[in-house]
Amino acid sequence: MSGKKIQNRVCIIIPAYNESTSIVQVITDLKSTFKKTSYDIKIVVVNDNSKDTTAILAKEQGVVVISHILNTGAGGATATGLSYAEQYNFDIAATMDADGQHDPWDVLTGINEIIKRNDDLLIGSRLINSDGMSKTKIIGNKGLSAITYILFGINSTDSQSGLRIFSRNALGQLRWKTSGYEFCSEMLWRAKQQKLRIGEYPIKAIYSEYSKSKGQNNWNGINIVRSLIKRRITEMFE
Amino acid sequence: MRYIILVILNMPIIILALFNILTQYKMNKVTKRRFQRQLILWLLILIVLICSFPFYNYLVGKPLLDSTELSLFDIFQTTAIIMLFYGANSQRQKIERTEKTIRDLHQEISIKLSIKEKQ
């Protein structure tokens, strides 16, 4: 081992579905950001049965690639990544989007913050400072956060953020049932049920033409709300 | 008399549901939380059925809530609804369990295959 002091083993999970356009750039940026830090990082790309060359390109970058046999959705891919992090005893795990909308520096900030604050789940909120975000996206995200509050009683400024940092404790306890984008809200609910400490920190979202085309639209938001209501009602009979 | 038929017809379904949930809990197949919720749900249905006649008597003469007594057809219909509810509830639980098993299996296979591929 080199003289570099390893503080924490960190697993950075990137759920990806047809992200051949951006995946190489995302991995390269992450590597260069964490190069001079004391963290022992492992980048894990969860290829959710992409139809393009996402998996091949990610493998060429020398990262761990877990390929799903079936397409499960963002929730399923994230769950696989976190399960990997738990099985390999990582101290901290982080999830980020594969479309390049997250700044790797924000991932690093989040990891530093979770250690400092001693939280279990830290959400990178794009809405604490929403500069650069379109009005439609702000309304959509705020709406979904309001629905999350009404249904589950969780007060989060950005319940749909893909940038999340998990403590070892959270890795062992967090499980959710939905596999689509609605998992973002359900995860917060499960964290609350498990009495995990949930925190937030501001991040900036980088919206390129590509990330805009890949992101969720407000119609998808309606579908998320429908699924969340269904999940909430179903659980009343459990 | 008809209300007694209603209770007699529905009692076996409710006892079966309570028996099932208790067995599942004792065999550690369901969490304490789920057990408590199911217990409350079925006990509530039982109470509503037992109290249906006094409740009917109470409502007689009240504007908007006044109605005729249950016919035998109504009793069979109510029993069928409870039976369907029991069936749907247990099927949903089975589906959820299967879904979880498949999801976990898929997750494990994907992780194991990626490790095997790397070696």
Tokens of B61: 């003469």
**Taking CB atoms and an 8 Å cutoff, what residues of chain A touch B34?**
238
- Nearby residues of B110 by Cβ (< 8 Å), 6 or more positions away: A46, A66, A67, A68, A69, A80
* Mean pLDDT estimate for chain A: 88
Q: Which of B41, B100, B114 sits opposite A66 (nearest CB)?
A: B114
Q: What is the model's pLDDT at position B105?
A: 94
Q: Are A93 and A171 in contact (CB under 8 A)?
A: yes
Q: What are phi and psi of A10, to 5 degrees?
A: -120, 135
Whether A4 shows a pLDDT value over 70: the answer reads no
Neighbours of A19 (CB within 10 A): 27
The confidence score (pLDDT) of residue A215 equals: 63
Partners of residue A200 on adjacent β-strands: A123
Structural domain boundaries of chain B? Answer: 2-93
CA distance B27 to chain A (A): 17
CA distance, residue B69 to nearest chain A CA (Å): 30
The CA angle A6-A205-A135, to the nearest 5 degrees, is: 160
Q: What is the ipTM of this complex?
A: 0.77
pLDDT, tens digit, 9 for 90 and up, residues A205-233: 887 777 667 666 667 788 888 888 988 88
Contact residues on chain A for B39, CB-CB shorter than 8 A:
none
* Backbone dihedral angles phi then psi of residue A67, each to the nearest 5 degrees: -100, 125
The answer to whether B109 contacts A69, with C-beta atoms less than 8 Å apart, is yes
Residue in chain B closest to A66 (alpha carbons) equals B114
Owner of token pair 């738990």:
A86
Which single residue is written with the structure tokens 């639980």?
Answer: B93
Which stretch of A6-10, A22-26, A223-227 has the lowest confidence by average pLDDT?
A6-10
The architecture (CATH level 2) of A9-236 comes to Alpha-Beta Complex (3.90)
Q: Is B38 on the interface with A (CB under 8 A)?
A: yes
| pTM of this structure | 0.81
Contact check, Cβ <8 Å, A69/B114: no
Q: Does residue A6 register a pLDDT over 60? A: no
Tokens read off for A206: 């980088």
Chains A, B: CB contacts within 8 A come to: 48
Q: What pLDDT sits at residue B52?
A: 84
Residue B93 in contact with partner chain A when CB distance is under 8 A = yes
The answer to whether residues A42 and A9 touch, using CB atoms and an 8 Å cutoff, is yes
Q: Which chain A residue lies closest to B107 (C-alpha atoms)? A: A80
Separation of CA A130 from chain center = 18
Residues in A closer than 8 angstroms to B41, CB to CB, are 237
Q: How confident is the model at residue A5 (pLDDT cuts 50, 70, 90)?
A: very low
Best probe of the B interface among A49, A179, A238, by most B CBs < 10 A, is A238
Domain boundaries, chain A: 9-236
Using one digit for the tens of pLDDT, what is the confidence trace for A68-108?
999 999 999 999 999 999 999 999 999 999 998 999 999 99
The pLDDT value given to residue A3: 44
Q: Which residues of B touch A234 (CB under 8 A)?
A: 92
Which pLDDT score, from 0 to 100, does residue A28 have?
96
Choice among A34-38, A41-45, A111-115 with the minimum mean pLDDT: A34-38
